[in-house]
Structure 1
Amino acid sequence: MIPARYAATRFPAKLMKMLGDKPVITHTYEAAVNSGLFHDVYVITDSDIIFQEISSRGGKALMSREEHDSGTDRIAEAVRSLDVDVVVNVQGDEPFIQKEPLEKLVRLFENPEVKVASLMRKMDNSADASNPNMVKVVTNKYNKALYFSRSMIPYQRDANTEFHYYLHIGVYAFRKAELLHFTTLPKAPLEQIEKLEQLRFLYNGIDIYMAETDYKNIAIDTPEDLEKALHLISSQ
């Protein structure tokens, strides 16, 4: 499931910006399909423009019937009537999503205890950990998330202690029942402070299992990100 909102706050209509010969959302859709991991791939959108773009290329798109605060809520509306077990949420602004991280994520669900899962990557530069736009995650020894934060976690009190910060990559997977349950829960205090909806799961005692990957995602959040993506496309 690829939630695709047209009116992005920081970069309006970013999903319909051209990246080579196709819009960003089309690249994302085709990358998910070409992974070969899924029975079906859908774009879930509030936009007739995005709906027509995907449909005109033979893809599958669904229109949201309601207003939603998040992509997770948008997906939950779409899957409510579908016969599915595990749902993967790939953001529409991830045109370079690859099979390797998605497969690691999906394989976590071979464990029947896993209800929610996501991805993380070791950060190359510890200085990036101070960037509030780069969400960090810490886990326990079972790779269950302990906390997500825009702050540096953990705080490295002893400079001689070697530690790697982990970046949270916002690709999620859910069992359908847990996804629908999520939408019935009120926003959690920690979620509202950090503006991170994944904290709603942790606040309510729902484990998020993390898969580590080396995948370096390029999300199109700003015009500068689009320029980087265009350079990458032209160099391939």
Structure 2
Amino acid sequence: MRVVVIIPSRYGSSRFDGKPLAPICGRPMVQWVYQRASQSSRVETVHVATDDERIRAAVKAFGGNVMMTASTCRSGTDRVAEAAERLGLGMRDVVVNIQGDQPLVDPRCFNAVVKPFTEDPSVKMSTLAFAIVDEREITDPKDVKVTFDENGDALYFSRATIPMGRDGFSGYTIYKHLGVYAYTREFLECFRSLSPGRLEEIEKLEQLRAMEHGHRIRVVVTPYDSPEVDLPVDIRRIEEKMAAMGIG
């Protein structure tokens, strides 16, 4: 079973144009994600998939693998699927999809999200969750929450607070979803063919599409947070975290 990380990356964004190339401690943001993924002991190769020449040139400049994909891709998952097909991956190989806006992702997160595929042959898709410690994230709609059953399979993803305790937030853990996904290439092709779901369109969460069509998503709890850069103002916060961690 091969494990390949593919980082879908587009230049245009309504909230942060050119985000993948935004400098963080002197390096493009996408380079941080690429290099963190490359440090995983479980990952064979890392590739950036883009339709923008500026991103292609930047990845080439730091020595990374990059491929140009169709500008007609509807989503990052479609871009990942196209790249996986062109890489010639087998149907049981595992593709890890991470957006290029998580420069602090811990390399061990990639090991964790892949582990279910080695333990349970029925797993087709997995993702990560982190126990929230910053209470502001509990009610912030940009921080997606996830609940899961006793087997670790997702029950629901939401921008709302789930579960919502009748008597407040004390006495139980609320989990934040981290935007790292793994799929068998076979299921990635299946996912690509599914029509968008009603809940997906309401929450604007693509992973709900799999669940609305009856597919399970295995959730792995990790002790490593992976904060995302949504807006330019987030970069300073990330650089401060890097300084505290001694990187950068």
- Which interval holds the TM-score relative to the shorter structure? over 0.9
Structure 1 residue 126 displacement after superposition: 4.1
Paired position in structure 2 for 1:144: 153
Structure 1 residue 218 displacement after superposition: 2.3
| Partner Cα distance (1:216, 1:34) in 2 | 17
Paired position in structure 1 for 2:15: 10
Q: Deviations over 1:23-80 (max 9, x none)?
A: 1111111111122321211000111011011112221101112422221111011112
User: Once the two structures are aligned, what percentage of the paired residues are identical?
Assistant: 35
Is the aligned partner of 1:119 residue 2:128? yes
Paired position in structure 2 for 1:171: 180
How do 1:26-175 residues align onto structure 2 when only pairs under 5 Å count?
Answer: 26-81=31-86, 82-84=88-90, 85-110=93-118, 111-159=120-168, 162-175=171-184
Q: Deviations over 1:126-149 (max 9, x none)?
A: 453221111110100001000001
| Partner Cα distance (1:162, 1:34) in 2 | 36
| Partner Cα distance (1:125, 1:54) in 2 | 34
* Aligned with 2:202 (options 160, 179, 193): 193
| Partner Cα distance (1:125, 1:94) in 2 | 18
The TM-score with structure 2 as length reference comes to 0.90
Which amino acid in the other structure matches residue 211 of structure 1? Answer: V
| Partner Cα distance (2:59, 2:168) in 1 | 50
**Structure 1 residues 153 and 32: CA distance shift in structure 2, 3 A:** same
The 8 Å contact of residues 38 and 107 in structure 2, kept in 1 or not, is answered as: no
Is the aligned partner of 1:213 residue 2:222? yes
Which amino acid in the other structure matches residue 98 of structure 1? Answer: D
List gaps (5 residues or longer) in structure 2.
Answer: 1-5
Q: What do you get for the CA RMSD once the two structures are aligned? A: 1.6
**Structure 1 residues 128 and 234: CA distance shift in structure 2, 3 A:** closer
Q: How many residues are paired up?
A: 236
**Structure 1 residues 7 and 159: CA distance shift in structure 2, 3 A:** closer
List gaps (5 residues or longer) in structure 1.
Answer: none
Q: Deviations over 1:175-233 (max 9, x none)?
A: 00111111111100010011001000000111000000111212121112111122233
Structure 1 residue 95 displacement after superposition: 1.4
- Which has the higher mean CA deviation after the structures are superposed, 209-218 or 137-146? 209-218
